[in-house]
Amino acid sequence: MPNQILHVGSLTAAPGEKQYGINEFAVGGQPYTLPMWLVNGSAEGPTLVVTGGVHAAEYASIAAALDLGRAIDPATLRGRAIIVPVMNIPAFSARSIYVFPPDGKNLNRVFPGDANGTASQQLAAWVFDRVISQADYYVDLHGGDLVEALVPFTIFFRAGNARVDELSLEMAKVFGIRYLVCSETPGSTFSAASRKGIPSILAESGGQGIWTPDDVGLLTNGLDRLMRHLKMIPGAAPDEAPFTLLEQFLWLRSDHDGFWYPAVPVGAAVRKGQNLGEVKDVEGHVLQTAFSPADGRVLFIVSSLAMNRTDPLLAVGA
């Protein structure tokens, strides 16, 4: 068994061992408890990091990370895996959307974090420095939030390093979800990791608080395909899956507090300039019309009637 001992914070796993445990550390001056699996394989191979619950009401992502952590077997694993199923613990307990409740920031906009910053930045720094930085390959699992419907898609980022960029795109293709989106999303997990030289993807499935077996299975199947591709687990290399590459991820946001009336369903093919929905006031006056910025496909759409200024309305992949 050639592998070294795997360490994250206070937890360790010797070669051939799987260790579930909770790391405790301070975030924003308060104790923070972060559950995770450390899985140290019986043979040499790459290190895969999987995170879920950065947005803690994206339940398919969390369910998929839990399934992987519970099922993964160190006896047949080549390489190592670190699985953090729910990063944003306070939001999970509160069934809260979008943000990290202690400081109200979107945790997926503060990576790689700052150990001297606010609470979300401190959590991001802890996870980035101790977990994500150990990865040869990194997958962050997401989905539509409680108020978002989406069609499944996988995001990757071209950080300007040809080898890393090629591997990130390869991971996205191997994962097996149809729509692949190239996007920077500053401060996100996968773009920060890509910049550090770690091939990374962010995969999205499920939404609106729903996590059907199909929604979860799309993500667990993607992880299984990726691990077979990397020869981390037994099994044939995955078949090539059909994909559609979208080079732009165009978000529309609300300029107003009001009532949101989408005009198209999620997944709709839309034309540049098409009316995609309206934000109205109480009396029904149109405050804002969302026009499609390009020919493309609606990848996610906010499904709550409630709309707040600066919140996303929808995004078009093009």
The interface region with Zn ion, picked from 21-29, 91-99, 139-147, 208-216 by CB under 5 A, is 139-147
Q: Which residue's CB is nearer to Zn ion, number 56 or number 318?
A: 56
CB of 174 to Zn ion, least distance (A): 21
Q: Which residue's CB is nearer to Zn ion, number 92 or number 259?
A: 92
CB of 251 to Zn ion, least distance (A): 13
CB of 148 to Zn ion, least distance (A): 9
Q: Which residue's CB is nearer to Zn ion, number 130 or number 142?
A: 142
Q: Which residue's CB is nearer to Zn ion, number 82 or number 141?
A: 141
Cβ neighbours of residue 144 closer than 8 Å, sequence gap 6 or more: 58, 150, 204, 206, 207, 208, 300
**Considering the rule CB under 5 A, would residue 142 count as an interface residue with Zn ion?**
yes
Distance separating alpha carbons of residues 143 and 300, to the nearest angstrom: 10
CB of 273 to Zn ion, least distance (A): 29
Distance separating alpha carbons of residues 314 and 150, to the nearest angstrom: 9
Distance separating alpha carbons of residues 86 and 95, to the nearest angstrom: 12
**Considering the rule CB under 5 A, would residue 297 count as an interface residue with Zn ion?**
no
Distance separating alpha carbons of residues 308 and 257, to the nearest angstrom: 4
Quick one: tokens of 74?
């160190």
Distance separating alpha carbons of residues 9 and 149, to the nearest angstrom: 36
How far separated are the first and last CA of the chain, in Å rounded? 47
Q: Which residue's CB is nearer to Zn ion, number 40 or number 303?
A: 303
Q: Which residue's CB is nearer to Zn ion, number 45 or number 52?
A: 52
Q: Which residue's CB is nearer to Zn ion, number 18 or number 55?
A: 55
The interface region with Zn ion, picked from 54-62, 86-94, 124-132, 152-160 by CB under 5 A, is 54-62
Q: How many residues bind Zn ion (CB under 5 A)?
A: 3
Distance separating alpha carbons of residues 154 and 175, to the nearest angstrom: 8
Distance separating alpha carbons of residues 38 and 12, to the nearest angstrom: 7
The interface region with Zn ion, picked from 25-33, 53-61, 146-154, 289-297 by CB under 5 A, is 53-61
**Considering the rule CB under 5 A, would residue 105 count as an interface residue with Zn ion?**
no
Distance separating alpha carbons of residues 201 and 168, to the nearest angstrom: 6
CB of 18 to Zn ion, least distance (A): 27
Q: Which residue's CB is nearer to Zn ion, number 13 or number 89?
A: 89
Query: How many residues are present in the chain?
Result: 318
Whole-Å CA distances, 188 to 31, 39, 55, 91 = 24, 25, 12, 17
CB of 103 to Zn ion, least distance (A): 17
CB of 145 to Zn ion, least distance (A): 6
Residue 284 burial (10 A CB sphere; 0-12, 13-18, 19+): exposed
**Considering the rule CB under 5 A, would residue 18 count as an interface residue with Zn ion?**
no
Binding mask 237-276 for Zn ion (x = CB under 5 A): ----------------------------------------
Distance separating alpha carbons of residues 270 and 247, to the nearest angstrom: 16
CB of 98 to Zn ion, least distance (A): 8
**Considering the rule CB under 5 A, would residue 55 count as an interface residue with Zn ion?**
yes
Taking residue 187's Cβ as centre, other Cβ atoms within 10 Å add up to 19
Distance separating alpha carbons of residues 212 and 242, to the nearest angstrom: 23
CB of 113 to Zn ion, least distance (A): 17
Binding positions for Zn ion, rule: CB under 5 A: 55, 58, 142
